Amino acid sequence: MPTSAPEQPIELDITNVAHGGIFVARHEGRVVFVSDAIPGEKVLARITDARKKSFWRAETIAVLEPSEHRRDHVWAEASVDRDPIERPGGAEFGHMSLEHQRALKNQVLSEAFEKFAGGAAPDFDVESVAGDDEAGGLGWRTRVRLHVDENGRMGPYAARSHRVVPVASLPLATTRLSELIELDALVEGAASIDLIDPSGSEPLLCVGADDLKAAGTVTERVRDRGFSVDAGGFWQVHRGAASTLTEAVQRAIDGALFEPRADNLDLYGGVGLLAAAVQDRFGDTVRMTSVEADAGATRHARRNLIAGNIEAETARVDRYLTHLHSRLSAVERRAFRDATVVLDPPRAGAGTQVTAQLAQLAPAQIVYVACDPVALARDAGAFAASGYELTSLRAFDLFPHTHHVEAVASFVRAR
């Protein structure tokens, strides 16, 4: 095995895809993670990071034997023809067909379950959002952050760096956002620019953090509901994601196991999107507590969920569950076994503490919304070890031309 990275570009045969939007090759026995490639290709690559003994990182600089799935990149500035340091990040799968992107996302999620969940995942397909295929996977992003360099030029960062790359287009952004910004303009006095295209209010261009904070509240619409959210707060970025996840969570809940008056929970609840999905399916008699660490999001959740019996509390989920365990009587703990828990944790997942706390509460069913395949698989393995059966898994292509995939998994307590 070589002890130092070669200074000259090397030829690599790409054999697989890895979690994180990179691809796998080997050079003289060492694993090399390569960007901008496709399994089955032979590429010329430049080693960019050789600090680890177990693997190197590399960038494709030329494709010697292209895959049948390779296409012209949807973002010209990210093409393999450009020097890697001049390629903007954020569209790392944009050089292949949408169909093949979804096949690779399916593979990554399936392999994560085999490795971390203790068994194969149920059969599933990565589902597209309505309209995306017709649009070529473009025009879906409703929130874009651009950065400003020392010369006042704006653009996204290059992949895995803080180097600003000026661009002439934003193909993943909605039309309203693309029309809102002059990308060749110079910016003074700000480090970033935020573009926001809410579904229920006018688009915003915010220059700098102070401008974003001053923008206040925007409105997002999902079916017949309006949701207030801070302009800089979290909301799903795909124009159809909120509706897609609403429908997916509603379908994921087993109605035969759902008890409206139980101590149902919506964890990592944000501004109340998924609590509202539960209420819209089962009616205003639903009792549920939505728990969110961000106080601003909780304030919006209280307004968004004003009808019915849903409460919103500001707390870290692990601390909330610790407090819940400490105050439940034996009778209340038994009653909790009728509850349904919906959770939508951050990319790192719920983790060992939260999964253990939920297993101790032993709710009837758990519906888990995940944006990271490995985190979901690890938590699924923890639930399985605690006596829960994975009863369904769906995956959604909410981020076309990137490696990201969203999944909704259902777990039912073994009787």
Task: Consult the annotation and say whether 353 binds a ligand.
Answer: no
Query: What residues act catalytically?
Result: 371
Task: Consult the annotation and say whether 268 binds a ligand.
Answer: yes
Closest by CA position to 347, among listed 399, 390, 404: 404
Kindly state the DSSP code that residue 96 receives in the 8-state scheme. Answer: B
Task: Consult the annotation and say whether 388 binds a ligand.
Answer: no
Retrieve residue 292's tokens: 């969110």
Kindly state the DSSP code that residue 378 receives in the 8-state scheme. Answer: H
SS3 of 110-165: the string is: HHHHHHHCCCCCCCCCEECCCCCCCCCCCCCECEEEEEECCCCEEECEECCCCCEC
Q: How many angstroms from the chain centroid is the CA of residue 28?
A: 35
DSSP 82-93: S-GGGSBSS-TT
- The rounded distance, in Å, linking the Cα atoms of 316 and 294 is 8
DSSP 5-70: --SS-EEEE--EEETTTEEEEEETTEEEEEES--TT-EEEEEEEE---SSEEEEEEEEEEE--TTB
Retrieve residue 88's tokens: 């903007």
Kindly state the DSSP code that residue 337 receives in the 8-state scheme. Answer: G
- The rounded distance, in Å, linking the Cα atoms of 196 and 229 is 12
Task: Consult the annotation and say whether 132 binds a ligand.
Answer: no
Annotated binding site for S-adenosyl-L-methionine: 236, 268, 292, 344
Annotated binding site: 236, 268, 292, 344
